[in-house]
Amino acid sequence: MDIDGLRVAGPEQVYPVREDSLLLATVSEVRPGESVLEVGCGTGLASRAAARAGARAIASDLNPYALQWLTETSAAEDLRVDCVRGDLLSCFRRFDVVLFNPPYLPTTPPETDPDPWQDLALNGGKDGQRTLRRFLKMLPQHLAPRGRAYVLHASIPSARGPSKFPARELGKGWEVEPVGARKVPGEDLTVYRLNRVPADVRPTIRRRG
């Protein structure tokens, strides 16, 4: 999607646009007229880009500062993005496209950020995948039969070991394909496209190279 000209600087209470946000927004494919949900939207860069591409965009987050800023910014950019406060997919039905950049930093309880909004954006649990696993378990009930999801995953070499995309949480009938990647210091970022496939085909992960 095209993000040229969209505002990227949000308030201090909202997760800023970084390499992960840019990667998700630019490699995700959205068609005019499709229903699109951006989960954990932050500044809503991806949902605003989807709206500009002609999609019917909804953005969700638990952070009220993010939703207030996104409501004002999308209006100023003459874009329609409906903002909803909710936890992951729990308050929604089905969408053609779902976009998600989850919190992925491995975090133990003593490492919890005292700022609740920063912790919400960054804390991925002990292995960095706590929120991602919850999302993947919910996704099959909220994606249209021919729908697709674009999900950012970070592999972070650390004392806890590099993480792999937990495709098994989806259950049977899915194809998981990398569509974009970027290396940044300490992180290997990949956006995966998740597609439904016939029930007799096992979920797969296509790897580059």
pLDDT digits (tens, 9 = 90+) for 149-181: 999 999 887 656 567 899 999 988 899 999 999
- What is the band of 45 on the pLDDT scale with cuts at 50, 70, 90? very high
The secondary structure element, H or E, covering residue 26 is helix 19-27
Average pLDDT over residues 25-33: 96
Residue 161's pLDDT is: 59
Rounded to whole angstroms, the Cα distance separating 47 from 56 reads: 9
Residue 24 has pLDDT above 50, yes or no: yes
Cβ(38)–Cβ(47) below 8 Å: yes
Strand 174-184 vs strand 187-196: parallel, antiparallel, or unpaired?
antiparallel
Domains and CATH numbers, the chain: 19-205 (3.40.50.150)
The whole-number pLDDT of residue 203 equals 47
In 3-state terms, what secondary structure has residue 145? strand
Per-residue pLDDT reduced to its tens digit, 56-70: 999 999 999 999 999
Pick the closest to residue 130 from 149, 107, 97 (CA basis): 107
Tokens for 3?
Answer: 């993000």
- Give this prediction's pTM: 0.90
**Those residues with Cβ within 8 angstroms of residue 54's Cβ, 6 or more apart along the chain or in another chain:** 31, 32, 33
Q: Are the beta carbons of 98 and 55 closer than 8 angstroms?
A: no
Q: Reply yes or no on whether the pLDDT at 193 is more than 60.
A: yes
Spatial distance between the Cα atoms of 38 and 158, rounded to a whole number of angstroms: 29
Cβ neighbours of 146 (radius 10 Å): 8
